[in-house]
Amino acid sequence: MMIRRTLTGVGTGALTLALAAFVTAAPQAAAPATKAKAAAKGAAAAPPAAASALPGYTEADINAALQAAYAKYKDLQEGKNADYIPALAKVDSNVYGIALVTTDGKVYTTGDIKSEVSIQSISKVFTMALVMEESGVDAIAGNMGVDATGQVFNSIVAVEQYKGAEMNAMVNPGAITATSMVKGASRDEIWKKILATYSDFAGRSLSVNQEVFKSEADTNQRNQAISMLMYAYGHIKDNPLQATDIYTEQCAVSVNAKDLATMAATLANGGKNPVTGKQVIKSDNVPEILAVMATAGLYDDSGKWLFTTGLPGKSGVGGGILAVSPGKFGIAVISPPLDAAGNSVKAQKAIADISNALGGNPLAPKAR
Ligand code: GLN
């Protein structure tokens, strides 16, 4: 695995080195250039600190924060799996995995890191990002809007209130509309582009959990109705049921905590995947993406979430939540039991603890 690591304090500008290393490997020795510079200054060569994208925090600090949150909430029994999509009710409620990926491409994990859940609403961020990439940020702002609804994610009242405007792409009507805006001559072309975008964000080829896709496709009449309303109000231009079907498939993409944390870290890193080094989207669009997440990423509990963490985040009813500390890290937790708003109970608590322990809140002048 190639990791791009930036070493600061080595003269004019930062020296970026591509180092082949596993993230779990022992800290790298200081680069020769650093030693030469120190020697030239006549300074005693300081022992190399474990490099971290988080100023003031070592790798041990980061691992300790993850492990503390894991242990603290492991046995918490609050919440319950989503069951309005039958396949989600069957997912093991005890799956609990945590991952944090820094903007210098280091991956920290703890807990159940192999198990996958369906991405569900977290997909909305990345389809919106694709639409912004293809059509500009104003295409989103000018269509479904970028305002909070204060309603549940599949609210029809929210559609009716402003005839499908003055909402956002993080709730179902806006998200299905965003899916309808992805360019492509056929369903297949549109779908392949969506899946390729998610895979670039995650840094590996993702695939669909067909059981979840089928289960939701069989029971998504409410989303079909929502798409028809968005069509009636002119926000979806054509083929609303195809948009709903593609949206349903995108929600069934299967991910583990590391995938989600890497997707978040790509946003934290200005649209460039810090593990693969690929620029996935224009960095110019990232502030608008994060703003929509901050406004509505945890549905009608987005205000509470921002109050607690200061982080743009996004949840899904599969049990995942990801959050972005701009310039620092992406973090994700999966744990299927949800609260009444549809947000994973453990994921909210664990992310808040870890981010606050590592100075992740971009609204706070210092760590808390
Ligand atoms: N696929 C789900 C739905 O449309 C996604 C909802 C969610 O994760 N909040 O109902």
Confidence at 366, pLDDT banded by 50, 70, 90 = confident
Three-state SS at 336:
coil
For residue 316, the CA-to-ligand 1 centroid distance in Å is 7
241-295 pLDDT per residue, tens? 999 999 999 999 999 999 999 999 999 999 999 999 999 999 999 999 999 999 9
153-196 pLDDT per residue, tens? 999 999 999 999 999 999 999 999 999 999 999 999 999 999 99
- Provide the pLDDT for residue 123: 98
Cα 166 to Cα 174: distance, rounded to the nearest angstrom: 10
Our answer on whether the CB atom of 244 is closer than 6 Å to any ligand 1 atom is no
Beta strand pairing call for 15-20 and 2-7: antiparallel
CA 239-84-160 angle, to 5 degrees, is: 50
Our answer on whether the CB atom of 251 is closer than 6 Å to any ligand 1 atom is yes
Determine contact, residues 4/104, Cβ cutoff 8 Å: yes
At 247, list the tokens. 């949206």
Examine the pLDDT at 37 and tell me if it is beyond 50.
no
Examine the pLDDT at 16 and tell me if it is beyond 80.
no
Lowest mean pLDDT among 24-38, 233-247, 327-341: 24-38
| Tokens 């590996």 belong to residue | 204
Cα 21 to Cα 2: distance, rounded to the nearest angstrom: 7
For residue 204, the CA-to-ligand 1 centroid distance in Å is 23
Beta strand pairing call for 107-111 and 97-102: antiparallel
Q: What is the DSSP string of 209-243?
A: -HHHHHHHHHT-HHHHHHHHHHHHTTSS-S-HHHH
Ligand 1 atom 6 nearest Cα: 121
Task: Give the residue among 81, 237, 265 at the shortest CA–CA distance from 164.
Answer: 237
Q: What percent of the chain has pLDDT over 70?
A: 86
Confidence at 52, pLDDT banded by 50, 70, 90 = low
Examine the pLDDT at 124 and tell me if it is beyond 70.
yes
Given the CA of residue 318, which atom of ligand 1 is nearest to it? 8
Examine the pLDDT at 83 and tell me if it is beyond 50.
yes
Stretch 97-108: mean pLDDT:
98
In sequence order, the β-bridge partners of residue 366 are none
- Provide the pLDDT for residue 55: 84
| Tokens 């649209």 belong to residue | 271
Determine contact, residues 265/330, Cβ cutoff 8 Å: yes
